[in-house]
């Protein structure tokens, strides 16, 4: 570990070493503090318990995400959503092996898994809060805001899980995959087009009779002339 590592960094590193070597349940706070070269009081200045030492600093991340969304200007909402999701992904990528060790622990320790699931909902609520502010006055705005918020978090987590499982290792490729996934997620930021499509205009000459006009309209709409059959007169 770098000499400049903080006591918090040392506690996190020590905790993961012990969790992977001895198991989560068998590891005590005292053992973590001793391995990190600190005392219990230092541990509890940074964390409330073992679960907190495992989880990323979601408070700081939520603050950064909220700060980026708060600065979004009309016309820049999509960029803000992409950059806000990118903040979270970049944090996990920077953690490297620690993030993957946490993922393995969450797969086997219910308390950690439950905390991570709860944190996902906090991100959804934060995104929704800002997207509602942007869209609520538009057609179907409140519904679209909820859909976009959930979709952005789902897109981010889909990409993050692939990286955590080792399916992607290249950071640039992972960021590109997030960009692609978010393209799908943010599509409802733009109001759907009104039904009906573009009107078709047919111009008929002065000498055209009704039958000729009908034939011209059918041709313009790509319809074949009606074929006489049962029920026709």
Nearest one of 149, 226, 135 to 186, comparing CA atoms: 149
The separation between the first and the last C-alpha atoms of the chain, rounded to the nearest angstrom, is 91
Q: Where are the alpha helices (DSSP H) in 5-136?
A: 7-22, 29-36, 40-46, 50-54, 58-70, 77-95, 97-108, 110-135
The 8-class DSSP code of residue 198 comes to: S
The yes/no answer on whether domain 55-189 falls in CATH 1.10.357.10 is yes
- What's the pLDDT at 169? 87
Domain definitions of the chain by residue range: 7-53, 55-189
Identical topology for domains 7-53 and 55-189:
no
- Written as six digits, the tokens of 177 are 């995959």
What is the rounded CA–CA span in Å between residue 53 and residue 90? 20
What CATH number belongs to 7-53? 1.10.10.60
Task: Note the Cα 64 to chain centre separation in Å.
Answer: 15
What is the rounded CA–CA span in Å between residue 49 and residue 46? 9
Neighbouring residues of 231: CB distance < 8 A, sequence distance ≥ 6: none
DSSP 120-176: HHHHHHHHHHHHHHHHTTSTTHHHHHHHHHHHHHHHHHHHHHHHHTTS---HHHHHH
Mean pLDDT by 10 residues, the chain (233 residues): 73 93 93 95 93 90 98 96 98 93 90 92 98 96 97 97 94 96 94 61 52 56 47 40
């Amino acid at each position: 570990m770098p000499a400049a590592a903080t006591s918090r960094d040392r506690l996190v590193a020590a905790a993961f070493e012990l969790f992977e070597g001895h198991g989560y349940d068998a590891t005590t706070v005292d053992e973590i503090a001793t391995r990190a070269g600190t005392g219990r009081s230092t541990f509890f200045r940074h964390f409330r318990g073992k679960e907190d030492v495992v989880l990323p600093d979601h408070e700081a991340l939520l603050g950064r995400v909220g700060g980026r969304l708060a600065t979004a200007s009309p016309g820049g909402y999509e960029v803000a959503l992409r950059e806000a999701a990118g903040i979270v992904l970049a944090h996990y990528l920077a953690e490297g092996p620690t993030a993957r060790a946490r993922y393995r622990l969450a797969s086997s320790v219910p308390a950690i898994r439950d905390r991570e699931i709860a944190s996902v909902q906090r991100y959804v609520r934060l995104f929704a809060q800002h997207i509602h502010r942007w869209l609520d006055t538009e057609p179907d705005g409140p519904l679209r805001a909820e859909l976009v918020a959930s979709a952005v978090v789902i897109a981010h987590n889909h990409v993050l899980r692939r990286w955590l499982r080792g399916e992607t290792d290249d950071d640039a490729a992972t960021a590109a995959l997030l960009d692609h996934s978010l393209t799908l997620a943010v599509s409802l930021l733009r109001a759907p087009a009104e039904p009906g499509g573009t009107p078709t205009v047919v111009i008929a000459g002065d000498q055209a009779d009704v039958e000729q006009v009908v034939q011209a309209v059918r041709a313009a709409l790509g319809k074949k002339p009606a074929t006489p059959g049962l029920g026709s007169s």
